Amino acid sequence: MRVPFLRLIAIAVSALLATALVGCANKTALSNHSDRLQVVTTTPLLRDLVEQVGKDRVEVASIVPDGGDPHSYEPTLRDSRNVVYADVAFSNYALLEERNVIKTLDANLRADAVSVSLAEEAVKYAAEIIPLVENVNLDTVWLGLRAQGDGADRYGANRTSKVLVSATEVTGPGDMFAYLTGSLGDTDVYFNSADGFDPATGYKHDTMSLPPAAHTHLSWTFSEPGIYTLTLEASLQVDDTSRPVHLDTATFTFAVGVNPADAGVTDPLVLDEGHADLTVNLDTSALEVRFDPEGGGDHTQQTYPANRVVIDVPAKALDEVPGGSQFRFLGKPGTRVYQLPQAVLGKHVHGEIDPHLWQNVRNGIAYVQLLRDTLIAADPTHARDYAANASSYLKELEDTEDYMHRTIDQIPQRSRYLITTHDAFGYLAHAYHLNVAGFVAPNPAVEPSLADRRKLAETIRTLEVPAVFLEPNLRARSNTLTEVAHEAGIKVCSIYGDSFDAEIRTYVQMMRFNADSLRECLSS
């Protein structure tokens, strides 16, 4: 049975409202009238780590509230005010946080305040970094947009700079759209040929913005079969006060419901599967195509000039416009269109490094050591307090690391398969010898397909997986996984990724809960 798309939206809205109520109760206000060190963090997890090291010598506020999603949270004026008062700021980064969270932090932090990105800096304390590997099994190519490189050396760019990608022309027998569907079913339309392209506005209504060294996933939709070309113009805006610097202009070709050989491209590379991105290369200033046929990250990616590639949108990509006013720009509900889906639900912007380092407690230890040294440097008068607090907490983390191994080691080898709704557990699997059998990434623009359900059911049956795992704050997005699990007669268990709630309020609680949940649910 398919789950109606509007029902998914209604469930998600209810969950979001519940999350917001939890989060509002956990907001702290920083002050410029306190003798304690004022610290702002991007997430509640980092807030907890700072509180463990700082104790009563610090006052800590998190931008993202408990229960909030750091990938999508939109900061408030109160968050901006807290940043202004902060002496020290800690972010995870590695593109974990929503861009506006980072912009709020960097734009409002005082010049004399200290700012540390833990994921990048913790490698100096022996934190282990692993690549973010994506391999969503679609029947078509998975096509996104990418900003390759950070542009720091060539252009002086930073993490709040904008790579702007503008559609300036589309040719073809019909209309072309590129849009993104959020976790509540809302849509952001970035390229829309149906209403034309206006150079007088700098194509602002047909422009997408990305941070450097990031990529995102879009749905690409065509109203009629045939050969299409899309001309993109790339530029870089280093900061909000500077004019964008033009980088490159290139034209990309799509074969929609027709033979790619009809595109007229000499010696074409036809992209019909795998993960590909239309890419702005900040190291060379070129617009190009990066193709990852194996989903293995940087070491399997190949780069091609735009004029060499034909992107195949096959006949099997034929779909119908969903109901709901947010999709009316595509046409009337039920209208037939060709679509390459974005595959990952929500505004999913990320880089090459898996940012969820803390799921390995050894990396959590590196975070704490970095926090300790940063607080001591910012407030040397109380260095002994920070050192003593950190020493005590590091012992607790060592005990937690031992607990993780002892507990997860009790799971039979044949049952160590992890299926979730969020690709946030690569470090957990790597550190504690689990196998990520998959994560459910439904196409958010249409109802879950029977093929998707069959693939998930087959994975569960073939591997004899005894349970699947849902993050409490993402449970509303997980109807397909829940229903398939129930049909298979297996457990649906909880696991925490990057958010707290009323039950789990600290990092140690989270990791021990995850270990217990894994043992209990995978051992039976």
pLDDT tens across 479-489, in order?
777 888 888 88
How many Cα atoms within 13 Å fall on the side-chain side of residue 86? 31
% of the chain residues with pLDDT over 70: 86
Mean residue pLDDT of the chain comes to 87
Segments forming the whole domain that contains residue 379 = 5-130+358-400
Assess whether 308 and 369 both reside in one domain: no
Instruction: Judge whether residue 341 has pLDDT over 60.
Output: yes
**Packing angle, helices 450-463 and 479-488, rounded to 10:** 50
By the 8 A CB rule, do 436 and 424 touch? Answer: no
Assess whether 170 and 307 both reside in one domain: yes
The last residue of a domain, from among 340, 370, 386:
340
pLDDT confidence band for 98 (50 / 70 / 90): confident
How far is residue 303 from each of residues 12, 20, 277, measured CA to CA in Å? 38, 42, 10
Structure tokens at 215: 């990529």
pLDDT confidence band for 136 (50 / 70 / 90): low
Number of domains in the chain: 3
Assess whether 15 and 114 both reside in one domain: yes
Q: What is the DSSP string of 110-140?
A: -TTSEEEEHHHHGGGGTPPP-B-------SS
Assess whether 46 and 165 both reside in one domain: no
In a domain, residue 352? The reply is no
Using the Cα atoms of residue 462, residue 2, residue 335 and residue 144 in order, give the sign of their dihedral.
negative
Taking residues 266-270, report their average pLDDT.
Answer: 91
Amino acid at 305: P
Assess whether 230 and 261 both reside in one domain: yes
In a domain, residue 73? The reply is yes
In a domain, residue 136? The reply is no
Assess whether 291 and 374 both reside in one domain: no
pLDDT confidence band for 15 (50 / 70 / 90): very low
In a domain, residue 353? The reply is no
Assess whether 221 and 259 both reside in one domain: yes
Residue for token digits 């392209």?
A: 197
Exposure string for 283-321, b = 16+ CB within 10 A, e = fewer: eebbbbbbbbeeeebeeebeebebeebbbbbbeebebbb
pLDDT of residue 46: 98
Which residues, other chains included, contact 376 with Cβ-Cβ below 8 Å and sequence gap of 6+? 383, 386, 387
Q: Write the CATH number for 70.
A: 3.40.50.1980
Assess whether 367 and 425 both reside in one domain: no
By the 8 A CB rule, do 184 and 10 touch? Answer: no
Taking residues 155-171, report their average pLDDT.
Answer: 95
Assess whether 441 and 336 both reside in one domain: no
- Rounded CA gap, 292 and 323, in Å? 33
In a domain, residue 368? The reply is yes
Assess whether 216 and 321 both reside in one domain: yes
pLDDT in tens, 366-407: 999 999 999 999 999 999 999 999 999 999 999 999 999 999
Residue 336 DSSP SS3: strand
Which DSSP state fits 7? H
How far is residue 340 from each of residues 146, 177, 374, measured CA to CA in Å? 16, 11, 46
Output the CA angle 15-67-364, nearest 5 degrees.
145
In a domain, residue 135? The reply is no
Structure tokens at 316: 């099997």
pLDDT confidence band for 187 (50 / 70 / 90): confident
Q: What is the pTM of this model?
A: 0.74
The last residue of a domain, from among 375, 400, 425:
400
